[in-house]
Amino acid sequence: MTKRYFGTDGIRGAVGESPITPDFMLKLGWASGRVFARNAGSSGHCTVIIGKDTRVSGYMFESALEAGLVAAGVDVKLLGPMPTPAVALMTVSHNAEAGIVISASHNPFYDNGIKFFSASGTKLADEVEHAIEEELEKTLTTVSSADIGKVLRVTDAAGRYIEYCKSTVPRKFSLRGLKIAVDCAHGATYHIAPSVLSELGADVIPIGVKPDGFNINEGVGSTDMARLAQLVIEHKADVGIAYDGDGDRVLFVDQNGEIIDGDELLYIIARDRLARGKSDAGVVGTLMSNLGLERALKDEGLQFVRAQVGDRYVKELMETHGWSLGGESSGHIICSYVTTTGDGIVASLQVLAALRGSGMDLATLRSGMTKYPQTMINVRVSGRVVLADHPDLGPAVQAVEQQLGDRGRVLLRPSGTEPLVRVMIEGDDAAEVESLCRSLADEVKKILG
């Protein structure tokens, strides 16, 4: 069944435009509350956790969701600004039926969205999202006054999450002697990541830690790393770490100011686990993962499989194969041996542990993987696109595939969070890859209007 509101990572869009409006959020809180209360079963008690990033519209949507949930008879616990994975953690530790994150991740402040977590700290199953959408079609009603939900603000959430992050590395693990530049994107990690790193002994140089509601992801964070790279060079830091607005993604900068993406971070973590005898048989990536990652892992004797783009699909395939490591090029990395969802801070600690254990610098540690040249162009479209509805795309893609042969690959996919079709080509010749990608993107624009 096609979902009306839910994309690959919740519901997202421009604030003030449907469905990212206060009235919709009120109804969404009520509809999801009814579904979660049913799932709670005979216990007669249902609690939902709400966290948010630092964008100004979060206050408005937090209040609307809260009102809808309590109208459905659900208790609410408010965390305030917290990273997305912290909400997943708190959902489990508070025995809540679900967690809700108000965030548009790496998008600008004028966007916002909603992500949900199940009672086990994972993304909602498709059937639960369908059930919520069914409830959204009904008329909002309020439970009796005696059954209205209560609201509690959790005051120790940040401290608890900091301690949890530190617990994901060995007890005597230390970052003493390391100088780390860290960029929190003026987002949800601003009061968490610097504390985690400094409490583990690092000399921390922080930027992007002064959110004002409007500056989230603006010239900072994992989507704009030029300032961080410059900071690493200026301060002669050992590494730079960049998180996105809601803290579920991480990218690194090595000591030379070179960006290290999610594929390379996966390789570093996988190789370290293999060296310590803790590795599974393989790693899960996505359709966007660089061919160099696949070949580097195979050289290490590890299998590699590709999921659809989206962390929920990565996690599903990890569970199918019984593997505990997977992720995306964007830096959304799932280390399920220590956490339930993509966690930027936890993933960064796994990389730092590999760095410490290897005795190498980060530039050397990444050198075992050679990335294939890859070009991606985003083609903006007017709304949600189903590629199968446009048969003319097939011959255009096939022509490029024939030219590349076994030297590369082509991928077309609609974004699950934005009105875009992503055109990606990968191969062994950078100039050819760029030329073919531009030509194919032009054809996609023509065909999709």
Domains of the chain listed by start with CATH number? 11-156 (3.40.120.10), 172-256 (3.40.120.10), 261-371 (3.40.120.10), 374-448 (3.30.310.50)
Q: Does the pLDDT at position 416 exceed 90?
A: no
Q: Does the N-terminal peptide bond of residue 206 adopt cis geometry, omega within 30 degrees of 0? A: no
Q: What was the pLDDT predicted at 135?
A: 97
Can you tell me whether residue 5 is helix, strand or coil? coil
pLDDT the model gives residue 131: 96
Q: What is the pLDDT of residue 407?
A: 86
Confidence at residue 43, expressed as pLDDT on a 0 to 100 scale? 60
The Cα–Cα gap between 306 and 328 comes to 10
**Distance between CA atoms of residues 270 and 280, nearest Å:** 9
2 pLDDT above the threshold of 90: no
- Band of pLDDT at residue 449, cut at 50, 70 and 90: confident
pLDDT surpasses 80 at 7: yes
In this structure, of 147-156, 159-168, 280-289, 414-423, the range with the lowest mean pLDDT score is 414-423
> Mean pLDDT, to the nearest integer, of 382-391?
86
Q: Per-residue confidence at 415, pLDDT binned at 50, 70, 90?
A: confident
d(C-alpha 48, C-alpha 54), whole Å: 20
Name the pLDDT band for 243 (thresholds 50, 70, 90). very high
Task: Quickly state the pLDDT bin for 44 (edges 50, 70, 90).
Answer: low
Residue 93 annotated as catalytic? no
Residues in Cβ contact with 328 at an 8 Å cutoff, skipping those fewer than 6 apart: 262, 285, 286, 288, 289, 309, 311, 314
Give me the pLDDT at residue 386, please: 86
Instruction: Flag whether pLDDT at 1 surpasses 90.
Output: no
Q: Tokens 């109208």, residue?
A: 71
Maximum distance among all Cα pairs of the chain, rounded to whole angstroms: 69
Cβ pair 79, 90 in contact under 8 A: yes
Give me the catalytic one of 32, 57, 103, 105: 105
What's the pLDDT at 42? Answer: 60
C-alpha to C-alpha distance for 52 and 62, rounded to whole angstroms:
8
- What is the pLDDT confidence band of residue 9, given thresholds at 50, 70 and 90? confident
* Average of per-residue pLDDT values in the chain: 95
